[in-house]
Amino acid sequence: MKAAVLRQVGTPLQIEDVQIGKPGPHEVLIRTAAAGVCHSDLHFVEGSYPYPLPAVLGHESAGVVEQVGSEVRTVKPGDHVITCLSAFCGHCEHCLTGHMSLCESPDTKRQKGQEPRLTEAAGNMNQFLNLSSFAEQMLIHEHACTAIRKDMPLDVAALIGCSVTTGVGAVIHTSHVRPGETVAVIGCGGVGLSAINGAAIAGAGRIIAIDRIGSKLNLAKHFGATDVVDASAGDPVEQVKELTKGGVHHSFEAIGLKVTAEQAFRMLRRGGTANIIGMIPVGTKIELHGPDFLGEKRIQGSMMGSNRFPIDMPRFVDFYMSGKLKLDEMISRRIKLEQVNEAFDELKRGELARSVIVFDH
């Protein structure tokens, strides 16, 4: 099958032929229909986060089940599915206490000594984040995908696999935004727009979108922002405090920078919660001012929106089909696998919300 392979940090992905195995007892073989090009992939390309190479990248995808293993009971051939990088085992402490997105069990991967899921002529090929969706097919654990209704367009459904689940989930699961509360979102890319949309669905009273690019702020209004702040036109913290008479109940940092993480904490009112969604580079340290903690302000991370994706994703599909979740507007263009490096270049320039790779089968 054709796949986009990262062989060395800082170099373009190469389109190559990669071999894929057959499903084991708890595995599913999926024909990839679409894969979003996410900023998280770019972090690994640039080396902000280490990963064993070579690897087939891609982690935001949807497709159709082709084969299932002998013990699979959750999906069947012909099902339309959305994948999720936070595969869960179902029997560890995290899973049994309802925190499936935190599962770290090795049971969702092939064990040492077993034939790897992906190979090449020269040896093994590393699977990326349980998925490797920049490829014509995916071989994954059954608890890394969930079936959805077949009238949902798969190119749009792919976005639910990462950015939507991460952004909406951070609002409704991680921070528990309640009707009438105030929200600020820093960064209006795919994840930030999803957080804005999630805040609107949750019934937030004021939703403040913060970015430096005017086109993204305009898009944020369509996703539910009640106010916009141009971060290049002055201190965004002071602008937010002025809009809200003291600060917000919830802030969401969706870029992954030291300065914006610190701003997310500083723009809180007393008792507020800052949620860091962006992937802050390894080794970066965040500085917070001690007296702020006396106001019971909190800062926390969010792993894939604290999701319970087999439940969440079908519901997000229903939200889209009923017009509550804005996904079409998030897709800036549809591309072929061979154009993946162009999409990364555009991400670096901050020009687009989302490029989606569409596979023609």
Residues marked active site are found at 38, 40, 43, 59, 162
Residue identified by tokens 């499903």 is 23
Q: Which of 275, 279, 281 is nearest to 300 (CA)?
A: 275
Which phi and psi angles does 105 have, rounded to 5°? -60, 135
- In 10 A of CB 271, how many CB atoms? 11
Is 207:276 a contact under the CB 8 Å cutoff? Answer: no
List, in order, residues 6 or more apart from 4 with CB less than 8 Å away.
13, 14, 15, 56, 57, 58, 134, 135, 337, 340
Give dist(CA 16, CA 4) in Å, integer.
6
Partners of 228 in beta bridges: 209
Per the structure block, which two tokens stand in for 165? 């689940």
Alpha carbons within 13 A on the beta-carbon side of 277: 37
Per the structure block, which two tokens stand in for 86? 């936070």
Give dist(CA 307, CA 312) in Å, integer.
7
Alpha carbons within 13 A on the beta-carbon side of 251: 30
- In 10 A of CB 332, how many CB atoms? 17
